[in-house]
Amino acid sequence: MSLEKITNPFDARHWIGHMEAEYRYTLGIAGERFFKEIKENERIMGVKCPKCEVVFVPPRLYCEKCFAKLEEWVDVGKRGEVYTYTIATIDIDGKRLEKPQIYALIKFDGACGGLIHRIGETEKVYIGMKVEAVFKPPSERKASINDIAYFKPAE
Amino acid sequence: MFGKKRVAIVGAGVTLFRRNLKETGKELSYHAAKMALEQAGMELRDIQSVVMGTAPDAFDGVHMKGEYLADGAGAYHKPYTRVFVGGGTGVFAPLAGWWHVASGQFDTCLVVCEEKMSSCYPHPQYAFTTIFDPVLERPIGMNLIWIFALEMNRYMHKHNIKKEDIALVSVKNKRNALDNPIAQLAANITVEDVLNSEVMAWPVQRLDVSPTSDGAAAAVLVSEDVAKEVTDNPIWIDGVGWCIDSTQWTNRDLYYPDYVEYAARMAYKMAGIKNPPKEIDVAEPYDPFDYKELHHMEGLLLCKKGEAPKLTREGVTQRDGDLPTCPSGGLLGCGNPIAAAGMMKVCEIFWQLRGEAGKRQVPGDLRTGVAQAWGDLMQYGSVIVLRR
């Protein structure tokens, strides 16, 4: 996104021909740093609200409880715990999956929130299971939540 | 008193709930609104303001749905507002109607809720895929069924609840719906039927879930002065409450809906209710999934945390029990046209308190009822308390 002001009205964006709408989302200010840390450093970061003493994962620009701007970043580690899970047996089109897929909400020690992700390298899962992020090879990373391939058992 | 004027419901109407109705959304709105006006003994010209409740634009693919439905809701040349808080809309719309009248600005308000999910083809589930965070959640391939599965699993884990006990809600509500002429999925089923139904995303199975539906529901809200003119049997809106929790649903403890409790406390305070299980005679907690009725009973403070499955097992929530829940048949039995489903619950409490629920009538001297809906991304609670 350009931050420059347009001074010539003919420079305003226009489009000729068939227009197919798609959506492009920015990661946001906090999101950009979060995904950069995943992509470049294999680190999962949170951000702390000093007033509310809460560490938010994923990190955010502001505290939703007190509206403070958050700047104190902390590494919460690659390991988390399965807070709850589901085993999907059909896909979004209602078709039966060849292999059931485990999805879990993974919480990190001392942090508020967590990450929704796939659980891999196991067919067994339970609430409270310790898991660890498995990152994709550096060349395949795109600053996306899918730069983490999945979480695997860490016990 | 809360607000400048006391507000009553004097008429209600609900259309058939079906998977695919021939009527357009506007026509469904018209039928429900017309029925509500007829019961109130009023004409459209008596209506000073209109509130429309309808859920995501994406169901219809008409991205100005409030305007699209306006004439069917009777809003031509009238002050008109469309409200939308996801699944919570059906109970939030009459709350918005309440403040139209309670503020003293209007003496009458027609509240109409509509949903036509069948336009989204082949399945409205697709419209739900864009409700998730585009950066953190959509790339994982989220869908609605499995986030509820995550919540249900946490609820079961926290209180050590068996699926058999949760299935009893589906059995009860589908059976209650046999007495409801609007119902889409009324049936006599067993716990085994639920437990043997297809697993969609563990622990959610097919018969744990309400269907997608088309339908509409409406009510006429009036000030005390008008109520005295048009009826001997007004039902008062004595409590309203609404609340949103963290929009980051990962930040919440999924086993308990805090936001429903906050909304309920707001409504109970206004209604002067100190002991909800004792003072509430009939309840319509929101039941798009069977575990949600239990979750919401607890959030509504109708029982202790984790106690709702026990009450269900003991028959307390049956129509002839001490605390009947979803005597209408709920969303599990009647169907789930999102906003219309919540509003149907408000209409049901209205009819129950008036003694007009026919075969569905809860026995006894009913004075107070509560209806509740739940929405957005699992963090919105809307609660209404009605009194005779």
Q: Is residue B182 assigned to a domain?
A: no
> Pairing between strand B368-375 and B282-284?
parallel
Binned at pLDDT 50, 70 and 90, residue B298 comes out as very high
Closest Cα of chain A to B12: distance in Å? 37
> Pairing between strand B214-223 and B199-202?
unpaired
Distance from CA of residue A53 to its chain's centroid?
A: 22
Strands (E), B54-203: 80-83, 108-116, 199-202
**pLDDT value at residue A2:** 59
Q: Does B125 touch chain A (CB under 8 A)?
A: yes
Closest partner CB to A58 (pick from B129, B134, B136): B136
Q: Does B203 touch chain A (CB under 8 A)?
A: yes
pLDDT tens figures, A61-113? 999 999 999 999 999 999 999 999 999 998 777 788 899 999 999 999 999 99
Closest Cα of chain A to B140: distance in Å? 7
What residue ranges define each of the domains in chain A, with the CATH number in brackets?
25-153 (2.40.50.140)
Q: Write down the residue that tokens 């006990």 correspond to.
A: B165
Cβ-based contacts of B146 with chain A (< 8 Å):
86, 88, 103
DSSP SS3 for A32:
helix
Binned at pLDDT 50, 70 and 90, residue A127 comes out as very high
CA atoms of B261 and B240, how far apart (whole Å): 13
> Pairing between strand A96-107 and B368-375?
unpaired
Q: What DSSP character marks residue B18? A: B
**pLDDT value at residue B60:** 85
Binned at pLDDT 50, 70 and 90, residue A1 comes out as very low
Cβ-based contacts of A64 with chain B (< 8 Å):
246-248, 251
Q: Is residue B96 assigned to a domain?
A: yes
Q: Does B57 touch chain A (CB under 8 A)?
A: no
- Tell if the CB–CB gap between A87 and B150 is shorter than 8 Å: no
Residue B227's nearest CA partner among B50, B9, B5, B62 is: B9
**pLDDT value at residue B1:** 63
Closest Cα of chain B to A8: distance in Å? 32
Closest partner CB to A118 (pick from B137, B140, B247): B140
Mean pLDDT along residues A30-34: 97
DSSP SS3 for A100:
strand
Q: How far is CA A113 from CA A80, A110, B251, B257, B380, in A?
A: 11, 10, 4, 16, 18
Cβ-based contacts of A112 with chain B (< 8 Å):
251
Mean pLDDT along residues A135-154: 97
Torsion of CA B65, B68, B70, B71, to 10 degrees: -160
Binned at pLDDT 50, 70 and 90, residue B243 comes out as very high
pLDDT tens figures, B55-109? 888 888 888 999 999 999 999 999 999 999 999 999 999 999 999 999 999 999 9
Between B143 and B375, the more confident residue is B375
SS (H, E, C) B231-299: CCCCEEEEEEEEEECCCCHHHCCCCCCHHHHHHHHHHHHHHCCCCHHHHCCEEECCCCEHHHHHHHHHH
Domain containing B22: what range? 7-122+211-387
**pLDDT value at residue B362:** 98
Q: Does B151 touch chain A (CB under 8 A)?
A: yes
User: Are residues B371 and B348 in contact, defined by beta-carbon separation less than 8 angstroms?
Assistant: yes
Residue B148's nearest CA partner among A84, A102, A101 is: A84
User: Are residues B375 and B251 in contact, defined by beta-carbon separation less than 8 angstroms?
Assistant: no
pLDDT tens figures, B336-347? 999 999 999 999
CA atoms of B175 and B185, how far apart (whole Å): 9
Mean pLDDT of chain A: 93
Q: Is residue B110 assigned to a domain?
A: yes
Q: Is residue B280 assigned to a domain?
A: yes
Q: What angle do CA A5, A9, A11 make, to 5 degrees?
A: 75
Q: Is residue B93 assigned to a domain?
A: yes
pLDDT tens figures, B97-141? 999 999 999 999 999 999 999 998 888 887 888 888 899 998 988
Mean pLDDT along residues B41-58: 95
DSSP SS3 for A106:
strand
Q: How far is CA B196 from CA A96, A130, A152, B154, B260, in A?
A: 16, 31, 31, 21, 31
Q: Is residue B15 assigned to a domain?
A: yes
Q: Is residue B181 assigned to a domain?
A: no
Residue B225 maps to which CATH number? 3.40.47.10
- Tell if the CB–CB gap between A84 and B250 is shorter than 8 Å: no
Q: Does B204 touch chain A (CB under 8 A)?
A: yes
Cβ-based contacts of A104 with chain B (< 8 Å):
150
Pull the structure tokens for residue A141. Answer: 């990373």
Closest Cα of chain B to A7: distance in Å? 32
User: Are residues B41 and B12 in contact, defined by beta-carbon separation less than 8 angstroms?
Assistant: no
Pull the structure tokens for residue A128. Answer: 């409270």
Q: Does B143 touch chain A (CB under 8 A)?
A: yes
Mean pLDDT along residues B351-379: 96
Mean pLDDT along residues B360-388: 95
**pLDDT value at residue A13:** 77
The set of residues, in sequence order, having a beta carbon less than 8 Å from that of B201 and lying 6+ positions away, is A86, A87, A88, A89, A90, A103, B145, B146, B149
Q: Does B20 touch chain A (CB under 8 A)?
A: no
Q: Is residue B141 assigned to a domain?
A: no
The domain tally of chain B equals: 1
Chain B CA closest to residue A64? B246
